[in-house]
Amino acid sequence: MAVRQLRYEGDEILRKKCKEVTVVDDKIRELLDDMLDTLHTMPNGAAIAACQVGVLKRLVVIDMGNGVIKLVNPKITGTSGVQESIEGCLSFPDKAGITVRPKKVTVQAQNEFGEEILLEGEDLMAKCLCHEIEHLDGRVFLEHVISFVD
Ligand SMILES: [Zn+2]
């Protein structure tokens, strides 16, 4: 377990595509734990993608206060509805804006043991899942901002 260096705006790695994880082993579990440790050092952190700690693997951890979720190779398989809300990113601490996102999403992934899981997210969780899974493709929330807020 260790805190890793967070990558910030301007770092090329945030724009790169992360690679599929083929084997979920102890190294991957250790990385997921490190991501969680790193997330927990951020007062407003809800989630983090591996590229945000400089590793180009398709991994996400989420902790929105009601349990930790660790996702390996997550992908969005369904969306419905729309929501507008304020969105930000740990890697872009000086920027926040109103974004338009689906209200509900369905995500297929593997857990930290390599088992297939399905999860559904609504409202904040839906926004979070979209945001993090986009990070894995080198995309950031700025493209969804309809108006920036101070
Ligand atoms: Zn982010």
Q: Check whether 135 is labelled as a binding-site residue.
A: yes
The number of distinct structural domains making up the chain is 1
Determine, yes or no, domain membership for 5: no
Question: Residue 106 sits in a domain of what CATH number?
Answer: 3.90.45.10
**Could you read off the pLDDT of 69-95 as tens digits, one per residue?**
999 999 999 999 999 999 999 999 999
- Per the structure, the complete domain to which residue 54 belongs is given by 10-147
Determine, yes or no, domain membership for 1: no
**Could you read off the pLDDT of 26-64 as tens digits, one per residue?**
999 999 999 999 999 998 899 999 999 999 999 999 999
Residue 71 alpha carbon to ligand 1 centre in Å: 15
Contact 97, 142 (CB under 8 A): yes
Determine, yes or no, domain membership for 62: yes
- Angle of CA points 73, 25, 116, to nearest 5°: 40
3-state SS class at 4: coil
3-state SS class at 76: strand
Q: Check whether 144 is labelled as a binding-site residue.
A: no
Mind telling me the catalytic residues? 132
CB atoms within 10 A of CB 108: 15
Alpha-carbon gap, residue 144 to 133, rounded angstroms = 14
